[in-house]
Amino acid sequence: MIGRSDFKQHRVSLERSSPDQIEIFPLDGESNDDCWRWSQDLIRQKDLSGNAPDLIARKVRSGKWNVCQRARKTTKKAKTIFKGPEYINQTGTNQLTSMGLRGAFDFPKPIGLLSTILELVTVPGDLILDSFAGSGTTGHAVLELNKQDGGNRRFLLVEMEEPIATGVTAARLQRVITGYNKGGAPDKPVRGLGGGFRFCRLGTALFDEFGDICTDVTCADLAAHIFFAETGMPIPARATGATPLLGTHRDRAVYLLFTPEQEERPGNTPGTVLTPDALATLPAPPEGFTGTKVIYAGGTAIPADRLRSQNIIFKQIPYQIEGA
Ligand SMILES: C[S@@+](CC[C@H](N)C(=O)[O-])C[C@H]1O[C@@H](n2cnc3c(N)ncnc32)[C@H](O)[C@@H]1O
């Protein structure tokens, strides 16, 4: 109910207490029946009196009534700190051009924007993930910030477009790490920031949603994953299935007994179970290696104490593969 008067603004009251009041119904923008956002019960809980009531009714030029909620200012608008030429996209474009990548990427972010964000939210030693790497500004900013404060932040950049990943993201990082000539001019060398990165390509999925090895996985791909998961290093040579010894790193020699169905052929079925025979015929690690043999296989028929006494760690696939 609202008080009927000539004032443009009225208090809203719920009780039809005087002939001075009219009843108004909610209509949508096309004058169809609508509903109020607040129920009568809710309105009863609101402050409808005083100098600043929660609800205000206003008569508009068309003669209709507008009932609206008073916006109480309880918040403060934050002022941007990203103000200045170092934060505008044109700067990002100029920076890419100066690295010899004119027009290679639309709307690259400026380094200053990412540096400020990284300064605010990271500490030396953090790992920074950018899943939409584009021109690689995030990686560049990480390298610059490390140079400035002696930090050892690392970055992980993901870019799904192959031409961008190789021709822009990696190309840019390569240049800023090793140095380049500004705008291609031989008399304007820019010193490299140092650091480095490894370029990896995502293969097809190795494991399904249940953690089982996908049927189309090759021995080479599974071996590469296992070696990396076990040692943190890339496999030294692509596994062909000819030998179960994938390689050694520090105090670990990594073995895999696995032959995907589609790769099975006469003479190439080493089996997937670590039997006493399989163990006896495992190729020896390089001479001088005294570390642990880590053997991945579908199962083992050798008692745990015997494995321990031979300094062997058995890991069952797929369950004990990290990342499965
Ligand atoms: C807006 S750009 C990023 C710009 C970047 N911040 C820079 O400074 O250049 C987004 C990028 O993410 C890539 N992208 C989009 N979807 C992706 C996805 N699902 N995985 C990886 N990269 C993706 C696009 O190819 C594009 O290069």
pLDDT band, residue 18 (cuts 50/70/90): low
Task: Report how far residue 224's alpha carbon sits from residue 209's, in angstroms, rounded to the nearest whole number.
Answer: 20
CB atoms within 10 A of CB 181: 15
Average pLDDT, stretch 51-57?
77
Instruction: Annotate 119-161 with DSSP letters as a single string.
Output: HHH--TT-EEEESS-TTTHHHHHHHHHHHHH----EEEE----
Ligand 1: centre distance to CA 77 (Å): 30
Tens digits of per-residue pLDDT, 91-140?
Answer: 999 999 999 999 999 999 999 999 999 999 999 999 999 999 999 999 99
Helix (H, G, I), strand (E, B) or coil at 68: strand
Which atom number of ligand 1 is nearest to the Cα of residue 109?
A: 8
Ligand 1: centre distance to CA 146 (Å): 23
Tell which wins on pLDDT, 262 or 303.
303
Domain residue extents for the chain: 1-75, 85-191, 219-316
Residue 162 confidence (pLDDT): 97
Are the C-beta atoms of residues 12 and 53 closer than 8 Å to each other? yes
Percentage of residues of the chain with pLDDT beyond 90: 66
Q: Ligand 1 in contact with 164 (CB < 6 A)?
A: yes
Please state the separation of Cα 3 from the chain's center in Å. 57
Tens digits of per-residue pLDDT, 297-316?
Answer: 999 999 999 999 999 999 99
Residue 12 confidence (pLDDT): 59
* Res. 5: pLDDT tops 60: no
Residue 63 confidence (pLDDT): 81
* Res. 8: pLDDT tops 60: no
Ligand 1: centre distance to CA 43 (Å): 48
Helix (H, G, I), strand (E, B) or coil at 297: strand
Tens digits of per-residue pLDDT, 203-255?
Answer: 889 999 999 999 889 999 999 999 999 999 999 999 988 899 999 999 999 99
